Amino acid sequence: MRDNVIFLVDMQSFYASVEKVDHPELADKPLIVSGDPERRSGVVLAACPLAKKFGVQNASRLWEAVQKCPNAVIVRPRMQRYLDVSIQITNTLNQFTNLVEPYSIDEQFLDVTGSTRLLGEPLVIAENIRSTIMNEFGINARVGIGPNKVLAKMACDHFSKKNKNGIFQLDPSNMQQEMWPLPVGKMFGVGSRMNRHLQGMGIFTIGQLANFPLELLKKRWGINGQVLWQIANGIDYSPVTVNTHDRQKAIGHHMTLPRDYEDPQEIKVVLLELSEEVARRSRMKQYMGSTVSVSIRGANFDFPTGFHRQVKLFSPTNFGMDIFHAAFQLFEKHWDGSPIRSVGVNLSQLQPAHDYQLNLFDVQIKKERISKALDSIYSKYGPKAIVRASSLTKAGQAYHRAEKVGGHYK
């Protein structure tokens, strides 16, 4: 039986690369794609390699990036354009295999196990993919190769991007030599908080985690402890599938505020807007959800504050006010009063909207009629056609969000 051959194809500085292709006059200039500085979304979404040579990093604050690279050209993101190109790249990758799984807007998993007989060895296929994407889109792609998705991802993130040919293969034959010496914080699935926990246990490298007693990890984190151990040992059974996103686990909406919000009444307006948006998207995808969660991030970068909390509803819903009431209760209970810079509302434990238990104490039919009327107006006249009066106050963001895709301008 042949080993699986999995690719993770990553587009280098995707947003910046698209901008340079569309604007050839910027080819030899350092370029930064960032949100609208006037509305305080000044975070670096993408920096081209020339800008990165000056120390500019993705997710850093724009003013810091400009200090490091004063000559950089700053462009506002065009999310619809990036989405269109991403879909076109997916279609191109389907020429190499019918198993293409978009992982993010600039990353795609491919299972080319069955393609090797026709298209050649994995390294040959990887190079053909890179040259095809460069010829068709003008974008430099990097390819990580592994027997599963975890090793393909690790190969791409930590080795392919550093190789001149943009390709690296990571498998059991070189995993201990290449991957195990990396800091444990570099491992897929380990965030900053988990990194601190692991270091507190004396685990500083991926190799140390791989050789740590599994039972102790399971005792502390349960199934998550076993998953961490498996990743460190290069074990991953998840297949590349084309229908990964067909069944959503949650629907949410998050936004960075144009200024620090510290008045609870202003925050209440934003929570209502986000709740209505989550409800509308849930209805559009024909889901109802039973759990509402709220994420708040404080305004102080140096001393991060905020919370992420959730509550189980009495019955599933996709009605905006139901979501809002739960969200605002969470906010009132857990907010410490510090100024905030971003807010998110999430609806999870989804189920089909046409299949639910009627509640004698809930006016579900009336809610459905109201929602249907709102959705009809929204669909016919656009998101600005009908908004709540509170959205017309200085705290409201509904009009600005209507001009965006994924939180960024189209």
C-alpha dihedral over 280, 285, 291, 292, to 10 degrees? -30
Pair 247, 338: CB distance under 8 Å? no
Helices (H) and strands (E) in the chain, counts: 16, 14
**Quick one: which of 144, 149, 192, 135 has its CA closest to 169?**
144
State yes or no: is 332 an active-site residue.
Answer: no
List, in order, residues 6 or more apart from 382 with CB less than 8 Å away.
402
Q: Pull the structure tokens for residue 158.
A: 């930590």
Pair 309, 330: CB distance under 8 Å? yes
Pair 26, 165: CB distance under 8 Å? no
Q: Pull the structure tokens for residue 49.
A: 């390699």
CA distance 179 to 182: 6
Distance from chain centroid for Cα 389: 32
Residue tagged active-site, from 25, 64, 101, 107: 107
**Quick one: which of 332, 317, 306 has its CA closest to 278?**
317
**Quick one: which of 56, 89, 61 has its CA closest to 71?**
56
List, in order, residues 6 or more apart from 360 with CB less than 8 Å away.
none
Give Rg (Cα) of the chain: 23
CA distance 65 to 74: 10
- Binding-site residues for Mg(2+): 10, 106
Task: State the number of CA atoms in the 13 A half-sphere of 147 facing the CB.
Answer: 14
**Quick one: which of 348, 375, 349 has its CA closest to 252?**
348
φ/ψ (deg, to 5) at 74: -100, 125
Residues serving a catalytic function are 107
